[in-house]
Amino acid sequence: MLDLPARISEWLLLLVKSQRTVAHLLVNNELLLIKAGGELEYYGLDDLKHEHSAYDQLPFLEGLLPLRETPFLLHSIGMPSGRVADIHIFAEEDHTWVVLLDVTTEHDDARKIQQKAYDMTLLSQREARLIARLEAAHKELTLAHRDLAESRDALERAHNRLLQELRDAERYVLAILPTPIADPFAIDWRFVPSTELGGDSFGYHWIDSEHFALYLLDVCGHGVGAALLSVTVVNTLRSGALMNTDFRVPEAVLGSLNQAFQMERQHNLYFTIWYGVYNRPTGRLRYASAGHPPPILVTGTGEQRGESKPLAGRGIPVGLMQTVVYDSQECTLTGPARLFLFSDGAFEIMRPDGSTMEFEAFEEVLTRATPGGASELDTLLHFAREVHGSESLDDDFSIIKMTI
């Protein structure tokens, strides 16, 4: 066939036989194994039985016979011994030859190369999937970031608009406050609204030629709602708009306010108020309190340390209970003296460590001497900010000083 001398053909055959560990099998048309030879043990086929089913003994032949084409090659088939063989199958007229040639070494070498190639391929596929996921996540993040930026801008615009409205409200609250007076007695005040705008407001005016009304109120809570109510109450008092009420009688004024401003009709807001009427000819001060901190009367001009006396009053805040009856107290203001009227924001100052300043500390500052014409009110405000550790206070800071 190779057109070679028999000597060379025989040598080639011997070469294949020595290098490929040849084994051979013969199967008849009844699929019985009729012959087996060569290096059967090498492939783990040494216990084959002649005249027994070839399929039962040689699973690699299962279903292949009769061959549809000849020769037929099964490449790199794992054998029972663990060796790997190329199986060449030749169909003859009434039987089939099966020749096994060892390719274990070539199989192992090729498998190593294939292993490397597949490992690399799987790795690069995994990397590509990872990159795709990262890119998708990045895209999502970019979109989310853009949405967030838009939301933030919208929030900032809304916040700025609200701030502007708060400042407008603050200006209005300040605008309705009376100007300080110097004659026939001096009245000065300091009012510093909190950042959120609070519910403090106050006023003073002559009721008639002898009676002078002085009042300060603090609506619960913060914000525009509280400020609106405080402004309304002050406007009511200033304009004398309470029906059938003698504004020279503090307990009557508080009673009328309580009827007019019940919290159910005021969006659940209520307020504390101190209302006093100073009778200038007699020097008598008649006052009533609706849950408000007591004003402090301090003797002297302020050049030396003075004596303090709280003007305590009884009564629950306005708006909480419709049936409440207020009463009043009286005292005589003997000069030289100063009457300090304030809201809780003037003394309930939170320190940076979270603790709250005591009322006694505030009272003590009021009695201190402030020589050299320094403003007592500025000193107090400075003191409050120093205790708080910040220029902006948590609550409205309101204080009125009446100097007799």
Partner 1 sequence: MLQKKVCMVGAFGVGKTSLVRRYVQSIFSDAYLTTLGVKIEKKVVSVGAEPVTLILWDIAGEDDVASIRTSYLRGAAGYFLVVDVTRAETLDVARSIKARVTAEIGSVPFLFLLNKADLQENWEVPAQSLEELENAGFVVFRTSAKTGEGVEEAFQELAKRMVL
Number of residues that bind partner 1 (CB under 8 A): 27
> CB-wise, 117 or 155, nearer to partner 1?
117
Whole-number Å distance between alpha carbons of 108 and 396: 88
Whole-number Å distance between alpha carbons of 229 and 73: 101
> CB-wise, 28 or 367, nearer to partner 1?
28
110 binds partner 1 (CB under 8 A): yes
Q: Smallest distance from the beta carbon of 158 to partner 1, in angstroms?
A: 41
> CB-wise, 53 or 308, nearer to partner 1?
53
Six token digits for residue 308: 């303090």
> CB-wise, 83 or 292, nearer to partner 1?
83
Among 19, 70, 105, 114, binds partner 1 (CB under 8 A): 114
Among 35, 111, 157, 351, binds partner 1 (CB under 8 A): 111
137 binds partner 1 (CB under 8 A): no
| H-helix or E-strand spanning residue 200 | strand 200-206
CB atoms near residue 158 (< 10 Å)? 10
Question: Using a CB cutoff of 8 Å and minimum separation of 24, what contacts does 41-47 make?
Answer: 41/81, 42/81, 42/83, 42/102, 43/79, 43/80, 43/81, 43/83, 43/85, 43/100, 43/102, 44/79, 44/80, 44/81, 44/82, 44/83, 45/79, 45/80, 45/81
Q: Smallest distance from the beta carbon of 91 to partner 1, in angstroms?
A: 13
Among 72, 185, 359, 383, binds partner 1 (CB under 8 A): 72
Query: Residue 227 in 3-state DSSP?
Result: helix
> CB-wise, 99 or 320, nearer to partner 1?
99
70 binds partner 1 (CB under 8 A): no
Whole-number Å distance between alpha carbons of 174 and 190: 11
Q: Smallest distance from the beta carbon of 33 to partner 1, in angstroms?
A: 15
Among 29, 70, 121, 151, binds partner 1 (CB under 8 A): 121
Site for partner 1 in 76-95 (CB under 8 A): 76-78, 84
Among 17, 75, 139, 267, binds partner 1 (CB under 8 A): 75
CB 379 within 8 A of CB 328: no
Among 118, 171, 246, 356, binds partner 1 (CB under 8 A): 118
125 binds partner 1 (CB under 8 A): yes
Among 5, 18, 51, 63, binds partner 1 (CB under 8 A): 63
CB 62 within 8 A of CB 74: no
Q: Smallest distance from the beta carbon of 46 to partner 1, in angstroms?
A: 18
Cis bond before residue 5 (omega within 30° of 0): no
Site for partner 1 in 32-61 (CB under 8 A): 55-56, 59-60
Six token digits for residue 87: 């199986």
Q: Smallest distance from the beta carbon of 15 to partner 1, in angstroms?
A: 24
Q: Smallest distance from the beta carbon of 112 to partner 1, in angstroms?
A: 9
Where in 79-181 does DSSP place strands (E)? Answer: 84-91, 95-102
Whole-number Å distance between alpha carbons of 98 and 60: 11
CB 218 within 8 A of CB 199: yes
29 binds partner 1 (CB under 8 A): no
CB burial readout 279-312, b (16+ within 10 A) else e: beeeeebbbbbbbbbbbbbbbeebeeebebbebe
Percent of the chain as helix, strand, coil, to the nearest 5: 40, 25, 35
Q: Smallest distance from the beta carbon of 128 to partner 1, in angstroms?
A: 11
> CB-wise, 84 or 288, nearer to partner 1?
84
> CB-wise, 124 or 334, nearer to partner 1?
124
Which positions lie near partner 1, rule CB under 8 A?
55-56, 59-60, 62-64, 68, 72, 74-78, 84, 107, 110-111, 114-115, 117-119, 121-122, 125, 129
